[in-house]
Every structure is written in structure tokens, then in C-alpha cells.
């Protein structure tokens, strides 16, 4: 992940980020269905739209059982789950067996033009993300595009990113499904009440 900074105007800082979106590789597995190649070597398959946000913070789409071995390598302490549906039993068991705490901040998966993004829920999720005691942490929704994109976009505003950079990162994941309503929400999101929260990630210090 490469961060490029440009100074605009007086002291306004504009940050852009080159994000590597990791798509799961299609790999031929052994007949038993486990994540091993033909030589018996274990394969690590990241979830859809997986990427690092900052030190100790990751994002992705919904992990399934094929992704569990990869998630174990992250040493996660917490997962911020942005869907309102109950967490699947297999995923819950994985969290329990690996000592990972689940924070559910459910947001309905609506489509434009009938979009209602609950600001209080976004703030609740951000408080979990900003607490270093919860790191390493994974933020995910269903596809890792819209709900996850809004939470990460609001985090970037707290990190003093300019809007063009916030939108650029959002669009890298949403691609053709970019929503104007999501971008409007991020633009209007008021960070003034959260400025007292500690932000000590790498890109906020640059």
C-alpha cells in the first residue's frame, strides 16, 4: 500500500492511496475440498475485496470457510460486522475458537434511490475501529463495497484525507456499483464530535 501526499493551498493536506484489491484466486483443490494444492501445501484464500486499511485494520467482503485459514494469519482480535442478519454458525464458531470478538453494527443493504444510512450506527462502528485494544480488526459487510466503504470513508475524514481521495478509494472497491448516496453521506458526515478520539495509525501521522 503506497500513500502519496500532496499539499494544497495553505496547510490543507490531500492524501491519495493506491489500494491493492485482492480477489480470491481460483485454484484447483484436492478432492477432499480442503485448501491444499496438489503437493499438499496449504493455500491461503483472502475474502472478496480484501485489503489493508491501515496498521491493524483490514476490510473485506463476507468471509466464508475457505477464507478461515487466511484470516488466522492476521491474528485478529475483533470483527466489525455491518450486516443486520445473524452471523452464520460456522463463522461464529471460527471466532470462538480463535478468541475473536464480534461487534455487530447492522446496516440494511439498501439500493438507490431508497437509501437510509444510519449515522449513529456508523459512529458506533468507528468507535470500535478507533480503539486500538480491538486491533488487529477486520471490517466487513456482504460484498465489502458500500457499507464497508462508508465506514472506511468516514475514518479517512477523521484522518484528514481530502474528499477526492476518500471518493477515489471508495470507487476502487465499488467500481461500477458506486453510489452517489454513499459519497454524499461521507461528504456530509460530521467528524467534529469525534475529534477527541485517539487516532494513531500510520497514515494519520504522515
pLDDT tens, position by position, 91-131: 999 999 999 999 999 998 776 555 678 899 999 999 999 99
User: Which residue among 14, 105, 141, 150 is the active-site one?
Assistant: 141
162 is catalytic: no
* Contacts of 46 by beta carbon, 8 Å cutoff, 6+ apart: 22, 24, 60, 67, 70
Buried b (16+ CB within 10 A) or exposed e, 172-206: bbbeeebbebbbebbeebeeeebeeeebebebbee
Q: Tens place of pLDDT for every residue, the chain, 206 residues?
A: 444 445 455 554 555 555 555 554 444 444 445 667 777 778 899 999 999 999 999 999 999 999 999 999 999 999 999 999 999 999 999 999 999 999 999 998 776 555 678 899 999 999 999 999 999 999 999 999 999 999 999 999 999 999 999 999 999 999 888 899 899 999 999 998 786 555 655 544 33
Instruction: Output the nine-digit C-alpha cell for 84.
Output: 443486520
pTM metric for this prediction: 0.78
Amino acid at each position: 500500500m503506497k500513500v502519496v501526499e500532496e499539499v494544497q493551498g495553505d496547510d490543507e493536506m490531500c492524501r491519495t492511496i493506491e489500494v491493492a484489491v485482492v480477489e480470491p484466486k481460483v485454484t484447483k483443490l484436492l478432492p477432499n475440498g480442503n485448501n491444499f494444492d496438489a503437493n499438499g501445501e496449504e493455500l491461503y484464500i483472502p475474502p472478496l475485496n480484501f485489503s489493508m486499511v491501515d496498521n491493524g485494520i483490514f476490510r473485506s467482503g463476507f468471509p466464508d470457510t475457505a477464507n478461515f485459514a487466511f484470516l488466522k494469519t492476521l491474528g485478529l482480535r475483533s470483527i466489525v460486522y455491518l450486516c443486520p442478519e445473524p452471523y452464520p454458525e460456522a463463522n461464529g464458531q471460527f471466532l470462538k475458537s480463535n478468541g475473536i470478538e464480534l461487534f455487530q453494527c447492522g446496516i440494511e443493504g439498501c439500493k438507490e434511490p431508497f437509501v437510509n444510512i444510519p449515522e449513529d450506527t456508523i459512529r458506533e462502528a468507528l468507535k470500535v475501529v478507533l480503539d486500538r485494544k480491538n486491533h488487529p480488526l477486520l471490517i466487513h459487510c456482504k460484498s465489502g463495497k458500500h457499507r464497508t466503504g462508508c465506514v472506511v470513508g468516514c475514518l479517512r475524514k477523521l484522518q484528514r484525507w481530502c474528499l477526492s481521495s476518500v471518493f477515489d478509494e471508495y470507487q476502487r472497491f465499488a467500481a461500477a456499483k458506486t453510489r452517489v448516496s454513499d459519497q454524499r453521506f461521507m461528504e456530509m458526515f460530521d467528524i467534529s464530535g469525534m475529534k477527541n478520539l485517539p487516532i494513531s495509525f500510520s497514515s494519520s501521522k504522515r
